[in-house]
Amino acid sequence: MAEEPTPEALRATLDRLTPILGRWRGQGEGSYPTIDSFEYNEELHFELHDEYPMLFYEQKTRLTNGEASHWETGFVRPVDAGIVELSNSQDSGRVEVLRGEIPERSNPLVFRLRSVHHGHDPRMVETEREFRVDADRLEYEVRMATHTTPAPVMTVHLRSRLTRA
């Protein structure tokens, strides 16, 4: 039987995410084979809640014409030594859980999370998020596979670049 991770191992996993903590602002582009491409502005913040221990995060976006767009909030919690799960609730009603490894002492910090669960959106097959944090710059890419295309294949949906606010 696999051993339970110690609280110290979980806390050390969370520490690997220190570079992402704080408030970020930036611009991104969205696309998918089935939709018109778009550009958006976003605000993103990650805060550490030591007593749980986990990160709380929120992402709020507007299309560049000012229209409110995607909004999500959730948690990033350590589930094993070096492994985290990001779970979120999205304005559309969709929920998502992604899991991945956070490298130790990585500078820049680069990590990839892959979906282990989608709820309340039958179009979803799989998603993946890749983050790169280099001091005051954060970039991410979101890829997804959906049933809205003839054959679901991982395809870029979002690319964004943010700076520390």
Binding site for ligand HEM (CB under 6 A): 30, 32, 34-35, 38, 40, 42, 61, 69-70, 94, 96, 123, 127, 142, 144, 146, 148, 157-158
First-to-last CA distance in the chain?
Answer: 45
To the nearest 10°, report the CA torsion of 104, 107, 109, 110. Answer: -100
Query: Shortest approach of ligand HEM to residue 21 CB, angstroms?
Result: 20
- Give the C-alpha separation, 124 to 103, whole Å: 28
Identify which of 102, 165, 108, 105 has the alpha carbon closest to the alpha carbon of residue 134.
108
Query: Shortest approach of ligand HEM to residue 67 CB, angstroms?
Result: 9
Closer to ligand HEM by Cβ: residue 39 or 47: 39
Query: Shortest approach of ligand HEM to residue 107 CB, angstroms?
Result: 26
Closer to ligand HEM by Cβ: residue 15 or 67: 67
Closer to ligand HEM by Cβ: residue 7 or 33: 33
- Give the C-alpha separation, 44 to 163, whole Å: 10
- Give the C-alpha separation, 80 to 9, whole Å: 8
Query: Shortest approach of ligand HEM to residue 131 CB, angstroms?
Result: 13
